[in-house]
Chain A
């Protein structure tokens, strides 16, 4: 008995020792035991201090001063918790989100369902959530009882936990998030304060939520200095798989409308064509995760007078890769107020977008193909183009820059009374920094017609280079045919060099060289607002194509011509030099040999100024040879004038003090000296009349435009002269008709002239009146003779008759040939 008692005692003692030991070591034992069961879930209990109390109702209660739990992606510390079979009370629970400590998310190693156990009533007075994703810790009180979970913090939410699902209805606003999440700073207050009604459910894996949003706010657009009204009304649906943190976001019922009416665009054209409203629709579900974004399509719809649709397709982004998408634009741009200058345009195009936002400097690439801008009729300023079409393809790359090709064609273009037919232009350009550009332009123009002339077959090419704001253009132009007034020139060639600052085009310089098929060539230099025309010395016959239309019977047969001119745009002053060297020409039957003059010409203040220059002509043959002509070319207060004109004719000489080269009325006296009377008589082409001796004349000439008048011109003999008439048909006829006067008239056949005086008058209508008085002596008959001769004849009619005869005969001979 004693032995049994001892056994019991020792057993009790042993149990007591065990229980005391267990109790004494309850903390580490509980820690080890809990970790044993938590290990499969990769959760570890790092601290646990608890006690067991017997309550007055004889129920046991567990109190824990601290509980520390650590698992994948989180750490939790609870303090002052009380637990009995009916409830759990926690004074404070700190839950720390540790993404760096999170295991790799994969469906295989995550729970696929949330098995909610039967929970006692739970009360957490202070639940503090900490996360790098939160701007500050989120604190709230949590109450749970019989499937109802209440959160009381920044938001008040009632969550029903039923059938392993948590269901939530929450009214909240973005402003509530602003204290905890980093939202874009520019979000306006109206948007932040807009109420959002959220209905969500969570099954342990998937969070499914619908958010009803109805907000209208104004978004500040700093560039346009305006507030843009934005309306967002509808539903945002979200399905988030928490195991892989991937969400399906459905924005198809949440159109975003941007009202552009209150944001005027500074560019007048952009403002006129601006749509009234832009609506952004995302008709497809976006798949979003921390590592990727996929969206089948997004639509940007333009409404108002301008209408169109920009569709973004295959929007795709993955970590480490750029965001890619393709786009298609179809739009009709209609101006707010149609006018002659502003008209509907059709704009369409397709292309691709690549956008990389990983680096600090975003990399992007925007490409376009089949871009087309077309208009039935396009007008700007005085220009109008019909059936205008612009096609383009381009690539805009943040590193490689811009590469583009533009093709512009128009059926025709009009500028006032200038008409351009069938224009085609191709511009290829490349720019790495969007400031410096290189490229080339090819332009063809079927024809250009204006009241002044017509161009047929224009081809122009140039290469251009824009560097540091300086434009360099090297190019050439070919004209198949140029008709300007009387000129018709074929196969004209031009070369162009142009250098000008973009900011001040007139401060640049350019060189334009041109050449005609005849070989005539020259160039125009432009430097700032000064233009220089240079015609280098070249054979005069190269000028024939230019002169022929003006004077068909003029031919330059020898000599050289050179010219230069400088024109200042600001002052309107023209300075020129014309150098004519040993130029010979023929005009009709007239020949002019060796013309030389070097003349400086200027034009300013509406007047022509000629610097004094000597004009010399070796000979002029107008049926009457005139040689050694010399004169001084210049201007006086009234205009251009020839001074000291002199030369030789009829073995004598002539001089004219001054001859004005304008149409103003003028008077002058032509002095003729030492003319050979015999040569003078031969001009009459009357055979059988011979005159010897010298004569002089003073001929007052009055010019008024094309009218010529001679009044009281004097012709006289210079010393003794002689008249011989023999076998002259007219004289013989006179004698035969006047037989009774024949003996006296015969005294004229051989007469020594001692005095010859005559008066010459030429009326503006061409009538010549010659009144000649000759005193002489017939040595054969030893008889003094006074011969008074008057002659009336219309010189103009005579000249016209002679000219007409020559013309008719020449034409007929040409035809017969």
Chain B
């Protein structure tokens, strides 16, 4: 179970970059620019190695 948690935690990671600009004169203007880059990395515990080797069609 511990391995599952570790796996799911590492599956999808997103690199989020944002830029914020604020103009304080009335009315205040807030510019928020967000860009999300998804990177897929999978890290598998040794305990699961055997399971994946038996089912190579996972990926």
Interface residue ranges, A against B (CB under 8 Å): 734, 738, 741, 744-745, 747-748, 775, 783-794, 797-798, 800-802, 804-805, 807-809, 811-813, 815-816
Find out whether the CB atom of A785 lies under 8 angstroms from the CB atom of B28. Answer: yes
- Please name all residues of chain B whose beta carbon is closer than 8 Å to the beta carbon of A792 when the two chains form the complex: 34-36
- Please name all residues of chain A whose beta carbon is closer than 8 Å to the beta carbon of B29 when the two chains form the complex: 785-788
In B1-52, the 8 Å CB interface with A consists of 4, 7-8, 11-12, 18, 20, 22, 24, 26-38, 40, 42, 48, 51
Find out whether the CB atom of B33 lies under 8 angstroms from the CB atom of A797. Answer: no
Find out whether the CB atom of A801 lies under 8 angstroms from the CB atom of B4. Answer: no
Alpha-carbon distance between A797 and B38 when the two chains are bound, in angstroms = 7
Find out whether the CB atom of B28 lies under 8 angstroms from the CB atom of A784. Answer: yes
- Please name all residues of chain A whose beta carbon is closer than 8 Å to the beta carbon of B20 when the two chains form the complex: 734, 738, 741, 745
Find out whether the CB atom of B33 lies under 8 angstroms from the CB atom of A790. Answer: yes
Find out whether the CB atom of B40 lies under 8 angstroms from the CB atom of A800. Answer: yes
For the complex formed, measure the closest distance between the CB of A54 and the CB atoms of chain B, giving whole angstroms: 142
- Size band of the B side of the interface? 20 to 34
Which of B4, B26, B28, B42 is most buried by chain A, counting CB atoms within 10 A of its CB?
B28
- Please name all residues of chain A whose beta carbon is closer than 8 Å to the beta carbon of B24 when the two chains form the complex: 744
Q: A788-B30, A793-B34, A804-B11 are in contact. List 12 more A-B contacts (CB 8 A).
A: A744-B22, A745-B30, A783-B26, A785-B27, A785-B28, A787-B29, A787-B30, A793-B35, A793-B38, A807-B58, A808-B7, A812-B7
B34 interface neighbour in A741, A790, A807, Cβ under 8 Å: A790
Alpha-carbon distance between A802 and B14 when the two chains are bound, in angstroms = 11
Alpha-carbon distance between A744 and B34 when the two chains are bound, in angstroms = 18
Chain A residue with the shortest CB-CB distance to B26: A784
B18 interface neighbour in A734, A798, A802, A807, Cβ under 8 Å: A734
Known: A738-B20, A784-B28, A786-B29. Is A801-B34 also a contact (CB below 8 A)? no
Q: Which are the 10 A-B pairs with shortest beta-carbon distances?
A: A784-B27, A801-B12, A793-B36, A805-B11, A792-B35, A797-B38, A786-B29, A744-B22, A815-B51, A788-B31
Chain A residues touching B, majority SS: helix
Find out whether the CB atom of B4 lies under 8 angstroms from the CB atom of A812. Answer: yes
For the complex formed, measure the closest distance between the CB of B10 and the CB atoms of chain A, giving whole angstroms: 10
Find out whether the CB atom of B51 lies under 8 angstroms from the CB atom of A808. Answer: no
Chain A residue with the shortest CB-CB distance to B48: A812
Find out whether the CB atom of A809 lies under 8 angstroms from the CB atom of B35. Answer: no
A-B contact list, 30 entries, CB within 8 Å: A744-B28, A747-B28, A783-B27, A784-B27, A785-B28, A786-B27, A788-B29, A788-B32, A790-B31, A790-B32, A791-B35, A792-B35, A793-B34, A793-B35, A797-B40, A798-B36, A801-B38, A804-B11, A804-B12, A804-B42, A804-B59, A805-B8, A805-B12, A808-B7, A808-B11, A809-B7, A812-B4, A812-B48, A816-B4, A816-B51
For the complex formed, measure the closest distance between the CB of B59 and the CB atoms of chain A, giving whole angstroms: 8
- Please name all residues of chain B whose beta carbon is closer than 8 Å to the beta carbon of A738 when the two chains form the complex: 20
Alpha-carbon distance between A738 and B21 when the two chains are bound, in angstroms = 10
Alpha-carbon distance between A797 and B40 when the two chains are bound, in angstroms = 9
- Please name all residues of chain A whose beta carbon is closer than 8 Å to the beta carbon of B59 when the two chains form the complex: 804
For the complex formed, measure the closest distance between the CB of B28 and the CB atoms of chain A, giving whole angstroms: 5
Alpha-carbon distance between A61 and B34 when the two chains are bound, in angstroms = 165
Alpha-carbon distance between A808 and B7 when the two chains are bound, in angstroms = 9
- Please name all residues of chain A whose beta carbon is closer than 8 Å to the beta carbon of B31 when the two chains form the complex: 788-790
Find out whether the CB atom of A783 lies under 8 angstroms from the CB atom of B28. Answer: yes
For the complex formed, measure the closest distance between the CB of B52 and the CB atoms of chain A, giving whole angstroms: 8
- Please name all residues of chain A whose beta carbon is closer than 8 Å to the beta carbon of B40 when the two chains form the complex: 797, 800-801, 804
- Please name all residues of chain B whose beta carbon is closer than 8 Å to the beta carbon of A813 when the two chains form the complex: 4
Alpha-carbon distance between A790 and B34 when the two chains are bound, in angstroms = 6
A798 interface neighbour in B11, B30, B38, Cβ under 8 Å: B38
Alpha-carbon distance between A748 and B28 when the two chains are bound, in angstroms = 10
- Please name all residues of chain A whose beta carbon is closer than 8 Å to the beta carbon of B7 when the two chains form the complex: 808-809, 812
Chain B residue with the shortest CB-CB distance to A794: B38
For the complex formed, measure the closest distance between the CB of A297 and the CB atoms of chain B, giving whole angstroms: 76
B32 interface neighbour in A775, A789, A797, Cβ under 8 Å: A789
For the complex formed, measure the closest distance between the CB of B24 and the CB atoms of chain A, giving whole angstroms: 6
- Please name all residues of chain A whose beta carbon is closer than 8 Å to the beta carbon of B37 when the two chains form the complex: 794
Find out whether the CB atom of B55 lies under 8 angstroms from the CB atom of A815. Answer: yes
Alpha-carbon distance between A308 and B11 when the two chains are bound, in angstroms = 82
Alpha-carbon distance between A599 and B47 when the two chains are bound, in angstroms = 53
Known: A744-B28, A786-B29, A815-B55. Is A808-B12 also a contact (CB below 8 A)? no
A748 interface neighbour in B30, B51, B58, Cβ under 8 Å: B30
- Please name all residues of chain B whose beta carbon is closer than 8 Å to the beta carbon of A748 when the two chains form the complex: 30
- Please name all residues of chain B whose beta carbon is closer than 8 Å to the beta carbon of A805 when the two chains form the complex: 8, 11-12
For the complex formed, measure the closest distance between the CB of B31 and the CB atoms of chain A, giving whole angstroms: 5
Alpha-carbon distance between A433 and B26 when the two chains are bound, in angstroms = 112
Known: A797-B38, A807-B58, A815-B51. Is A741-B32 also a contact (CB below 8 A)? no
Alpha-carbon distance between A788 and B30 when the two chains are bound, in angstroms = 6
- Please name all residues of chain A whose beta carbon is closer than 8 Å to the beta carbon of B55 when the two chains form the complex: 811, 815
Alpha-carbon distance between A783 and B28 when the two chains are bound, in angstroms = 8
Alpha-carbon distance between A798 and B38 when the two chains are bound, in angstroms = 7
Find out whether the CB atom of A811 lies under 8 angstroms from the CB atom of B58. Answer: yes
- Please name all residues of chain B whose beta carbon is closer than 8 Å to the beta carbon of A789 when the two chains form the complex: 31-34
Alpha-carbon distance between A119 and B52 when the two chains are bound, in angstroms = 128
- Please name all residues of chain B whose beta carbon is closer than 8 Å to the beta carbon of A788 when the two chains form the complex: 29-32
- Please name all residues of chain B whose beta carbon is closer than 8 Å to the beta carbon of A734 when the two chains form the complex: 18, 20
Alpha-carbon distance between A797 and B36 when the two chains are bound, in angstroms = 10
Alpha-carbon distance between A811 and B48 when the two chains are bound, in angstroms = 11
For the complex formed, measure the closest distance between the CB of A188 and the CB atoms of chain B, giving whole angstroms: 85
For the complex formed, measure the closest distance between the CB of A668 and the CB atoms of chain B, giving whole angstroms: 28
For the complex formed, measure the closest distance between the CB of A785 and the CB atoms of chain B, giving whole angstroms: 6
Chain B residue with the shortest CB-CB distance to A767: B35
For the complex formed, measure the closest distance between the CB of B45 and the CB atoms of chain A, giving whole angstroms: 10
Alpha-carbon distance between A747 and B28 when the two chains are bound, in angstroms = 9
B12 interface neighbour in A744, A747, A785, A802, Cβ under 8 Å: A802
Alpha-carbon distance between A787 and B33 when the two chains are bound, in angstroms = 11
Alpha-carbon distance between A748 and B35 when the two chains are bound, in angstroms = 20
- Please name all residues of chain B whose beta carbon is closer than 8 Å to the beta carbon of A783 when the two chains form the complex: 26-28
Chain A residue with the shortest CB-CB distance to B18: A734
For the complex formed, measure the closest distance between the CB of A656 and the CB atoms of chain B, giving whole angstroms: 28
Find out whether the CB atom of B32 lies under 8 angstroms from the CB atom of A785. Answer: no
- Please name all residues of chain A whose beta carbon is closer than 8 Å to the beta carbon of B11 when the two chains form the complex: 801, 804-805, 808
Chain A residue with the shortest CB-CB distance to B30: A787
- Please name all residues of chain A whose beta carbon is closer than 8 Å to the beta carbon of B32 when the two chains form the complex: 787-790
A812 interface neighbour in B18, B22, B30, B51, Cβ under 8 Å: B51
- Please name all residues of chain B whose beta carbon is closer than 8 Å to the beta carbon of A815 when the two chains form the complex: 51, 54-55
